[in-house]
Amino acid sequence: MTDLADLTATELLAGYASGAFSPVEATRAALARIERTEPAVNAFVRVDAQEALAQAAASQERWRRGEPDGLLDGVPVSVKDILLQRGGPTCRGSRTVRAEGQAWDEDAPSVARLREHGAVFLGKTTTPEFGWKGVTDSPRDGVTGNPYDPQRTAGGSSGGSAAAVALGEGPLSLGTDGGGSVRIPASFSGIFALKPTYGRVPLYPASPFGTLAHVGPMTRDALDAALLMDVITRPDVRDWSQLDTVAASFRDGIDGGVEGLRIAYSPTFGGRVTVDPQVAESVRGAVERLEELGAHVEEADPGFEDPVEAFHTLWFSGVARVVQHLTPDLLELLDPGLQEVVAQGGRYSALDYLAAVDVRMALGQRMGRFHTGYDLLVTPTLPITAFEAGAEVPKGSGHHRWTGWTPFTYPFNLTQQPAASVPCGTDRDGLPIGVQLVGARHSDALVLRAAHALYTSGAAEISPPGGS
């Protein structure tokens, strides 16, 4: 018998509609999976089983009456503990945030849309402190392990969400991505994630990382992500930088395939990135599948220099701003690595910041021109598979910061382009590998369509983690 915890949101909704099972049964299955797998991975900072079951019961009654309320009525979801969710604290992985003494009575826009569409909230997922790095561990909430091997990292900063989805602890989760933070853990944990075009998903409060920060869906497959995008892209007046609402559903045309698409494949960004041979082989296999499906693929590099210093200027300045209000005794409570980047961020001048903006604008212009010749750019999501949990960088790698091993992700936060990670295989240790699909700004539907083609062709199928 199929465990309901292993079904996608799309499959759950079909089951509710047919009467095969109910939201209460699906929620109980997700909660049972959480209880069984959580001790090993630590994906959640808070689970509210009683409230989730109450929400599921209300949904079950709506389905019984034939009156489901919204696109996700009764689907179990989780939310990264960066986004506000009313009814409980959002501590962002930091001991400097006081949970008590605050009302916690407001939802972030994407969370509000989930609530309006009847989703069942299971709880909040883990994040590194203030989402500052590409792995998930924090002084407040501890280390989040990889669903395929808890001794390895799940990636970050949306590592809790990735692990939860991979393990069947709810099929949908909301993550945030300022430099790769939904795509990195998706690649390490074997799930799908999309960083939408900036402004496509409203965000409030405004991120201290400015227009680097995106909210994105983390799901079992591209079809579920398209469903979730139909919900979370609805407008919210609290975000002054949001884009106009897309008139069509992101699911419209998702079965259109990739025939005739012009795809550039850049395996190493022109030779400047060293990629693990196992990763390279799996990614090349996904590219070959796109070609078999009718895409016109050629190896081509966008030709930009590594923008990491500009990214650091913008990112570390944002981190310094996050903690600017803290007293010296509270600053000492921060993750030691975070303390280092806060100090570095505080040394940048306004002119340094504006120089980084210049680099960013030039990169955006280059990629805009690049996409006049190519519909999609394909790269590895990451050049490696998951390494030791609790470390910011792989041991012996020579890297000092997390950006050293994520060269394929952060450039596309600078350019605001949609970018997705799709699982495309595993290494000899059974650890997932991801391929990244990057589109021109506003081409989110095209990225989802190409990703869906990989899923329907079987190229994105990998074995589930043993813990599920």
Q: Which residues are catalytic?
A: 80, 157, 181
CB of 277 closer than 8 Å to CB of 384 = no
The secondary structure element, H or E, covering residue 165 is helix 159-166
Strand runs labelled E in 112-261: 120-125, 137-138, 142-143, 145-146, 149-153, 172-177, 192-195, 214-219
Token readout for 312 is: 């650091």
CB of 184 closer than 8 Å to CB of 382 = yes
CA atoms of 202 and 240, how far apart (whole Å): 9
Among 427, 426, 436, CA closest to 461: 426
Look up residue 197 and give its DSSP letter.
P
Look up residue 381 and give its DSSP letter.
S
CB of 401 closer than 8 Å to CB of 180 = no
Q: How many helices (H) and strands (E) does the chain have?
A: 14, 15
Residue labelled with tokens 């990739």: 258
The secondary structure element, H or E, covering residue 143 is strand 142-143
Strand runs labelled E in 4-85: 44-47, 76-80
Among 169, 144, 157, 241, CA closest to 195: 157
CA atoms of 139 and 336, how far apart (whole Å): 9
CA atoms of 249 and 229, how far apart (whole Å): 8
User: 139 by DSSP, 3-state: which?
Assistant: coil
Report how far Cα 444 is from the mean position of its chain's Cα atoms.
Answer: 14
